[in-house]
Structure 1
Amino acid sequence: MDFVSDSVIARVRSHLLAAIGDEEPTPFSVTFLGLESLDVLTFFPRRDEFARFVTLGCSRYPMSDPSEMIADATRGPRAELILVTRVFDGIDKDFLRNLAKLAATPSVEGVVLREDLLLDLGEPLWAGAPFTAVLLGRSDIEDLELPEPADPVQFLDVVPITGTEAAWVRLRGAEALRDAWTEAGIDVRDPSRSAVTL
C-alpha cells in the first residue's frame, strides 16, 4: 500500500471514527479538476446535540510552502478540517462542497492550514448564511501520529465568521476575536448566531 496516500487516509478515517464514536458517517465526495477526490464525512448527532463535518483527503500529502523549490513528499504538516455545529436547514451539497473547497486550498493555492488562519470563501458558507469566511483553531480531536519520518495529522476546528469578524481578525488577531466572543457570550457552534459587536 502506498503510504503517502491510501494508508494515510485509512489511518485518518479510523482515527476519526474512534474519536467521534460513530462508525457510520455519511460521506460526500468531491473531485476538483486536477486533484484527487476529497470527502466530507457527516456525523449526525448521537452523543450530543452537535453534528460534525470532517474532511478526509486533505492530509493525503504534506502541505508545503509554495516558495519552496522542491516539495517534500513525506515531511511537512498535514491537516483535516472539522466543523461542529447544531443541525440547521442549510446542510446541502453546496455547503459540503464549500467545506471541501477549504480542504483543497493547500493543493489549489499553496496554503498551509494552521491554527488562527483566516480563510475567505468569497460567498456564504451555505445559502443565506451571514458567514463568508472561516477561522481555524485547534479541535478537540487529538493529533494522529504517523510512522517516521512523516509529521502527525492535525485536526483543525472550522468556525464560520462574518465579513466584519474577518476584518477584526486582520486588524486585531484571532485571539482578540475569540475574547470578544467569550465576553459577549456568543456560541460559535450556533448556526443562527449573530455577529459579535466589535
Structure 2
Amino acid sequence: MGEVLALVEARLRTALGEPDARAAVTFLGTDRIEVLRFVDAEAGLVRYATLGMSAAPMADPTAALADPVKGPRAELVLTVRLGRADTDKVLRPLAVLAATPQVEGVIVAPGASLDLGGPLWPGAGFSSVLVAGSGGLVEDLELDEPMDPVRFLPLLPMTPNEAAWKRVHGAQALEERWLAKGTDLRDPLRGSVSLD
C-alpha cells in the first residue's frame, strides 16, 4: 500500500510541482486519505489532488469477496481559479469523495456523479461533481502486474440544476453543453450553464 502511494505522490509532483499544503483525513473504518494542494500562480490556478484512494483497488459491489490486488485504482484532481473563492475548505469534502469506494463499495469511473449533499466549500454553488476521463493533466501511473494502473480523474463541479440535467441526459450531453456554451469549469463562482 505505502509503495503504491509513494509512486502516486511522485507522479503528482512530476506533473504538478511541489505541493504547498497537505491535509489528512481519516474516517471510521477507512484508510487515511490525504489531499495535497498545488498552486500554479503563473496560470492563476490551484489544484487539489487526493492521495490514498489508490492504495487499494476499488471493488465491484456485487463481488462476494474484494480482490486485494486487481481492480481499478484512482485518485481525484480538482482544478479551480486561484483567489476567487475560499476553496481551501474543499479538502475535507474531497477526502469524503475519495473515501467513497471504501465506505459505499462503489467504483468511481469517468461519467459518474459524486454527490456531497452540501457545498464543495462554504458558499459554493456546487454540491456534486462529474468525474471526467483520465490521461490529461496527470498521466496514468502503470503499476507492476497484475495491478491495474492508477488513473488521475479530474472532477468537474456541477450545480444542482446541472446534476439533475445530467441524470436525465447523461454525462456526455452535459459535457457537450458546457463546451458549446464556453463554460469556464474552473471558475469557482460560475453559475449553471443554460440548459434550455
Give per-residue Cα distances to partners, 1:70-92, cap 9 Å, x unaligned. 11100000000000111233223
Give per-residue Cα distances to partners, 1:98-130, cap 9 Å, x unaligned. 000000000000110100101111111111111
* TM-score, length of structure 1 as denominator length: 0.93
Counterpart of 1:154 in structure 2 is: 151
Q: Which runs of 5+ in 2 are unaligned?
A: none
Superposed structure 1 runs of 4+ greater than 4 Å apart: none
Matched, 1:40 2:35: yes
How far, CA to CA, are the matches of 1:103 and 1:166 in structure 2?
19
Counterpart of 1:144 in structure 2 is: 141
Q: Could you tell me whether the CA contact under 8 Å between 2:19 and 2:36 is conserved in 1?
A: no
How far, CA to CA, are the matches of 2:81 and 2:92 in structure 1?
19
Identity %: 48
RMSD of the TM alignment (CA)? 1.1
For residues 54-65 of structure 1, the aligned pairs below 5 Å read 54-65=49-60
How far, CA to CA, are the matches of 1:23 and 1:99 in structure 2?
19
Q: Could you tell me whether the CA contact under 8 Å between 2:85 and 2:188 is conserved in 1?
A: no
Counterpart of 2:73 in structure 1 is: 78
> Cα offset for 1:183?
1.5
* TM-score, length of structure 2 as denominator length: 0.94
Counterpart of 2:9 in structure 1 is: 13
How far, CA to CA, are the matches of 1:177 and 1:36 in structure 2?
33
Residue 182 (structure 2) aligned to one of 182, 185, 188: 185
SS at match of 2:183: coil
> Cα offset for 1:27?
0.8
Q: Which runs of 5+ in 1 are unaligned?
A: none
SS at match of 1:102: helix
> Cα offset for 1:50?
1.1
Counterpart of 1:98 in structure 2 is: 93
Counterpart of 1:173 in structure 2 is: 170
How many matched pairs?
Answer: 192
Which amino acid in the other structure matches residue 18 of structure 1?
A: T
How far, CA to CA, are the matches of 2:49 and 2:144 in structure 1?
23
Counterpart of 1:66 in structure 2 is: 61
How far, CA to CA, are the matches of 2:56 and 2:42 in structure 1?
32
SS at match of 1:44: strand
> Cα offset for 1:41?
0.3
